[in-house]
Each structure stands twice: as structure tokens, then as C-alpha cells.
Chain A
Amino acid sequence: MMKTTTPSSTDMTGNSRRSAQATAPPHMRLSDDHLERVWAWGLASDSVSYVYRPATLEDLRAIFRLAREQGLTVGFRGGGNSYGDAALNDENILVDFRRMSRVLDWDPRSGLIRVEPGVTLRQLWEYIVEDGWWPPVVTGTMKITMGGGLGMNVHGKNAWKMGPIGDHTIDFELMLPDGEVIHCSREENADVFHAAIGGFGMLGAFTSITLQMKRVYSGLLNVEAASCGNLGEMMSYFEQHLDESDYLVGWIDAFPGGDTLGRGQVHRANYLAPGEDPAPQETLALARQQIPDTIAGLVPKAWLPPFMGPFYNNLGWRLVCWAKYMSSRIKEGPSGARYQQPHAHFHFLLDAIPFKNAYGPGGIIQYQVFIPAARAGATLATLLEMGRAHGMPNYLSVLKRHRPDPFLLTHGLDGYSMAMDFHLSDRNRARMRQLAREMDEVVLDAGGRFYFAKDSTLRPEVIRAFLGSEAIAQFRALKQRCDPTGLIETNLWRRLFT
């Protein structure tokens, strides 16, 4: 009955070639029961993978073994909050780490915490906040896992001051595909330490992570909101307030041009000094930090997406941004508005508003750029203009300030980042590709950098230009050492590095 099947392929030049099928090892097929369709956070791409959810190191070892036997690759997935294809692995194994979610050790005197990779940022801050600690770096959503966060070397709204999460990582244990677990810190396996952080999971799986938390003396932040008439104003606001702020983040309305190009609103926040909060235990209480699931105590947020949907087009969203800007202008006046806000409310905007469910069938991608300070003003203005010129204004742009860090594949530099959300549809996808290509050139020309957690559009040649051939060669050498058979892959790795 068995007959040899020969897949053959024909390239476009007309030469046909037949590749020998005999090389593929005969194997038992994995059960369809593990097949799942998983999505990129932006819902613009997905993959079907054999998803496994290990709870123990032994489980994880067995998955690596299984993959080797089956001739499959293994990709890692944490909270699934990467916008693009970083946590997707088409038709291969995907390890979802969310069951490895124990806090292994917490010392409220020193602020050191040791966690498994599947512990989410939410679990982390909820665990420590009542002891008077807060994670030194938090992202815009608390649904990320710490393993994923370390793999991407995530940053927060204090990146110029505190750097990325890697700067607060004391050490970690990494399981290599052969099942061996190695300990990495700035002293031990320092090269792997600096490459696995930000190495988007390509060297091995974090199995435990030790992080230094930050002491806080209140559950509240002093927040100041100010509107800025254009990008220049916003950036000088940043520069004037860098030293005296703990957090700075700018929202940009990407629709208007000319003198008001890059207008928007800055939020600046500071920790309260010891003694400033008369009742810190009250403000640090978990109940006080929880994000309400209603708006103004009335409307459930889950009801929002159907109402937001109709505005998700260039005209509707222009109106929303205009209204947001104008109301901030009126409320804040020339001197800005001041108020106090719990940490969680200030940080987790992406969880507070259900943007994502309103995206519609095309989903969104994010294009985030990191530009050296000296070139940032002109470059970011150019990028905003390009979006307008292509009829592709982005719907949410966020400005942040950064600093360099010692990690091999880092996105960090002394400068600014601008994250731009683009709403995709079948109609504008080709335009988006073109815009992304043109923006790549502008960013590279300014000596800019990119960020794997956000990327959906880059090409291998852009990656080579931004990381440099030396960093890539170093990373490949480390990959060869940690994963000699190339067992670990994701869609993003294949797209950019193979």
C-alpha cells in the first residue's frame, strides 16, 4: 500500500527540483487534541500550533524531548501580549508557560522576589503591593508573564530613569533544549545573561527569575496632566521634567498636521516621599489598586467595544482624538491638572480600556521606533507626516524617553520612542507595507532601533542594519552553544533570522 510520495517544488525561473522525501523521519503524529489557533495580541496574525502547558521542569523537559523525536520546533508563549508574531510557531510546538506561575520566594525586607516564568505582572504587583513594594518596571498591560517580559526586555513609562526590566534582574535559571538548567547572572554565564534577556526566547526557557522590586511609601502617585500644542512642545516638556519625574508618557493625536503636528497630552507622575501619605496602608491596599470594570461607576467597560467599533476609521477616530485633545486642553488649562492616582490605574491603560475588542477583523499592528535624542524631533515629525501622506494616520501614538542598556539585542538607547498603532484592513494592508518600508529607511538613517515585542513588519536586512552584524554574529554563536540543533524557533525568528 505504501508508496513514496515526492514533494517537489518549482521555482519561478522554471527550474523544477524534487527534494528527497526520504530524509523526514517516520514518526507518530502528535494528537490533534493539542492543536490550537493562537493569536498575536494585535489580532492581525495567528498561528495553529501544538500547544503544551507544562507545570513542572520535568514537563518542560519532556516537551523538548517530544519535539526532538517528532522533528518539530519549540516556541515559547507567555501572556501572548506581543503585538506581532513573536509568540507564534506555525504547525510546531508552542509552550504556554502560564501554568508555571508560582512565586518561589519573596523577601519583604530586601524586596527580592523569585518567580516562575508564568507569573504575570498582575500576580507580581498584587503579591507585593501591600508590603510597600512595586515592580520597578511595568508595561501598559499587566497580563504579560515575567518570562515573556524578560525575553522581550520590556520597559515602562520610566525607561529613561530605570531602563528595561533586565536592569532589575538579579539572576535567572534557563533550561536549554537538552534539558540542562544553567544559572545566569552578571557574574555567571554573563554572556548568556545579557543575550537571553531581550533574546525573545531563542536561547532557552527561563525557569526561575529573581527580580529586585522598588520600595514605595504610598499606593498613590502624584500625577500631572498637561496638553502640548505640538511635538516640539511635548518634547521640551519631557526634557524639562526628566530629572524631577519618576514617570513620563505622552499621547499624540496623529491626525492634525502643520503647526499642530504631534499635539497631545503628557502625563507625568511621581512617587510620594516617605511620610507624604498619611495612611499608606490604606492606599497600598489591594482593593484600592484594582482597576474598576465600569466607567464612572456606571457603564460596564465590556459594553464599550460595540460603541467604539463605528469610530474605528480615519474620520471617526480623528473625531475621537480631537475630542480627547480638546477636553484635556480645557480641563488642564495652561498650567496643567494635578491629581493623585493608584499605581495600577496610572500604569495599565491597555487593561483599563478594552481597545482590542473593537479592532474588527483586520486587527492592529504596532510600529515602534527608538530614535537617538538628537535626531528624535525631526525624525518623529517625519514619521507622523508620512503616515498622514499615505492616508494611514496611526490611531494611538505614545511617546516615551529611554536610556541605553547592556543587553545584546536591546531596543534601548539615549533617546525617544514612539509607538504607533495602525488599524489594518484588507484595503489598507498593501499601503501599510509600503509605509512600513519607507519608515524603516527613515529610522535606520537616524540610527534608530526596533523592538521585537512590537514588530510585524521588519525584514532581515533591516534587522541586520539596526543590530549590526557583530551583535547578530554574537547572538548566533550563543544560540549555537545553547541550542545546537536549532530546536527553538518562532515565526518571528524564521521571518527575521533565517
Chain B
Amino acid sequence: MTSHPFGQERPLHPETKTILVGASSGIGAALLQELVRRGHRVAALARRGDLLEENCRQANAAAGMQRAVAYEHDVTDFGTVPALFEQITADLGGLDLIIYVAGVQPPVAAHEYDFAKDHEMVQVNLLGAMAWLNEAASRFTHVRHGQIAALGSVSGDRGRVAFPGYHTSKGALAIYLESLRNRLSRRGVTVTTVKPGFVDTRLLANAAKTFWVISPEEAARQIADAIEARKQVVYVPGRWRWVSLIIQLIPSFIFRRLSI
């Protein structure tokens, strides 16, 4: 009666049932391959359907079975999220994990104030996350089981001179995730905030100077490890924790004079 694109799960073949939002390129695309390799069944979402399909095809070919299914979706179509969420959980046969990776960072010049860009960043990086993760949070509250993960950023830890809209979207996302964590951890649900440093993706093109750059594949591996370990907040790679700590400790009267 219902469609079962993944097939009925068998009791002796438990698979982590995962929604991955933002799986067409960058860290999301690498995470798709990594999760499928680790035996998850993944509902992969992205706006760019052709790229997404190709990623799913690759992952399934490597796994030798249908583990990833593509769902073309624009995260700013907030109204379609509830129905799609329901359809996907039915297709997956459940939900153990949702990961929100979708993010944009249009180039912003030093003295540029472009509301259209800010609007897009807040919509994709923050509101899309809230639309999807609210659905998951409500479900996980009732079933007392599940894990939520989303990609914040080291650059969301302070409001810096470089990208006001981007820092805001990632910083607000981190606050939102902290609230979810405080609501849900008492119900057995883990909320993992992932804060990558420099990762070699399209977004990196905007950065002025970069260091400690890791590949998306390496980032995906570390993120998947952190999710499996049910970490609360994790920097990728880990040493960014100390950089961020120092940045957070800089008093404002100094910070506002710096160009970082």
C-alpha cells in the first residue's frame, strides 16, 4: 500500500535511518558517501537534483545496494517541509538521525551591506534548519529516540568584521541547537553541533587567508565519528576548539580594532 524505496528493514540488518539535508556538494556530498559506507540508509536532499542523483548513484554503486535515495528539495520552500518530512520517514521506515548541512555564503566585500545576500543566508543556513529540525525535534520528543546534527561554523562563535550575515546565521543556528539540546537531551535525544574550520569547498573561495584546510572527505569522516560518539559540540578538526576559545576570550575593546 505504501511505497518502500528502501525495502523493509530486516531485524538482523539494523541500519541507521538518516535524513541528510544538503547533499549535492561539499561536506554534504562527502558525508553522503561516508554515511552510506558506514551502513546508513540515507534520504539525501538538495536543490540541485542532477548533482544529488549522481552522488546517490555513486554511493549506491560503492555499497552494492540501494542505501541512498535522492529527494530534490529547496530548503527555502518551508511550506513543503512537513509533508516531505512525513513522506521521507515513511520511506526510510523510521528516523534515527537528521543532519542539516545546507549552507550558503555568497561573497561579501569589506564594506558591503546587501540585504538580499543576508536574507538568503538566513533563509538557507538558519530558517531551513529550523524548518527541518523542528519536525525532527517534535518526532524525537514523542518517541524518545533520535539524534540531530547540524553544521554551525567556527565563524559563528563571534561577530567578526568579515561576514556579518554569515556569522549571524551560523551563530544563531548554534543558539537554536543549544536550545534543542536542552529541551531534548532529557528525552534521550542527542543534539550535535558541528563547527568546521576551513574545509576545501566552494565556500572557501570567499576566505581571505586560509590555513589548516582539510578535504571535505576528511571533514565528513570526523563529523561521522563525532555523531557516532554522540558528541554535543565538536570542532572539525579538533584544534579549532582552541582557536575559537582564544577568539571568544578577546575583549571587545581589542576585538573591534582587529581585522579577523
A residues whose Cβ falls under 8 Å from a Cβ of B: 1-3, 5-12, 14, 16, 19, 21, 24, 26, 29, 32-33, 35-37, 40, 44-45, 47-48, 71-73, 84-85, 90-92, 365, 424, 429, 432-433, 436, 456-457, 485-487, 489, 491, 494-495, 498
Contact B60 A10 (CB under 8 A): yes
Contact A29 B12 (CB under 8 A): no
Residues on B with C-beta less than 8 A from A1 are 77-80
- The verdict on A8 contacting B77 (CB below 8 Å), with A29-B82, A90-B94, A365-B11 known, is no
Residues on A with C-beta less than 8 A from B91 are 7
Contact B80 A5 (CB under 8 A): yes
Contact B69 A7 (CB under 8 A): yes
Complex-state Cα separation, A19 to B72, whole angstroms? 12
Complex-state Cα separation, A16 to B52, whole angstroms? 11
Complex-state Cα separation, A498 to B142, whole angstroms? 30
Query: Which stretch from B1-9, B21-29, B119-127, B251-259 is at the chain A interface?
Result: B1-9
Residues on B with C-beta less than 8 A from A487 are 1
Contact B49 A37 (CB under 8 A): no
- The verdict on A90 contacting B93 (CB below 8 Å), with A2-B79, A48-B143 known, is yes
Contact A3 B49 (CB under 8 A): no
Q: Can you give 16 A-B contacts (C-beta < 8 A)?
A: A3-B74, A3-B77, A5-B72, A5-B73, A5-B84, A8-B69, A10-B53, A10-B57, A14-B57, A16-B57, A36-B143, A37-B144, A48-B95, A91-B89, A485-B1, A495-B8
B residues whose Cβ falls under 8 Å from a Cβ of A: 1-5, 8-14, 49, 53, 56-57, 60-61, 63-66, 68-74, 77-80, 82-84, 86-95, 138-139, 141-145
Residues on A with C-beta less than 8 A from B143 are 35-37, 48
Complex-state Cα separation, A73 to B5, whole angstroms? 16
One of B13, B64, B79 near A12 (C-beta < 8 A): B64
Instruction: Give chain B nearest CB distance to A438 CB in angstroms.
Output: 14
Instruction: Give chain A nearest CB distance to B7 CB in angstroms.
Output: 8
Complex-state Cα separation, A48 to B96, whole angstroms? 10
Instruction: Give chain B nearest CB distance to A386 CB in angstroms.
Output: 16
Complex-state Cα separation, A72 to B86, whole angstroms? 12
Complex-state Cα separation, A71 to B10, whole angstroms? 23
Chain B's closest residue to A45 (CB) is B11
One of B11, B65, B82, B88 near A457 (C-beta < 8 A): B11
Contact B142 A32 (CB under 8 A): yes
Contact B11 A12 (CB under 8 A): no
Contact A32 B12 (CB under 8 A): no
Residues on B with C-beta less than 8 A from A8 are 49, 53, 69-72
Chain B's closest residue to A36 (CB) is B143
- The verdict on A16 contacting B53 (CB below 8 Å), with A7-B70, A48-B143, A73-B1 known, is yes
Complex-state Cα separation, A486 to B1, whole angstroms? 6
Contact B71 A12 (CB under 8 A): no
Contact B11 A456 (CB under 8 A): yes
Instruction: Give chain B nearest CB distance to A394 CB in angstroms.
Output: 15
> What 9 A-B pairs have minimum CB-CB distances, sorted nearest first?
A494-B8, A456-B11, A45-B11, A90-B93, A10-B57, A37-B143, A35-B142, A91-B90, A1-B79
Chain B's closest residue to A11 (CB) is B66
Complex-state Cα separation, A183 to B93, whole angstroms? 35
Residues on B with C-beta less than 8 A from A24 are 87
Contact B14 A45 (CB under 8 A): yes
- Tell me which of B65, B73, B93 has the highest count of chain A C-beta atoms within 10 A of its own C-beta: B93
Complex-state Cα separation, A11 to B63, whole angstroms? 11
Give 11 new A-B contacts, CB below 8 A, not counting A7-B71, A9-B70, A24-B87. Answer: A1-B79, A2-B80, A3-B80, A5-B84, A8-B69, A14-B61, A29-B82, A37-B143, A40-B11, A73-B2, A491-B8
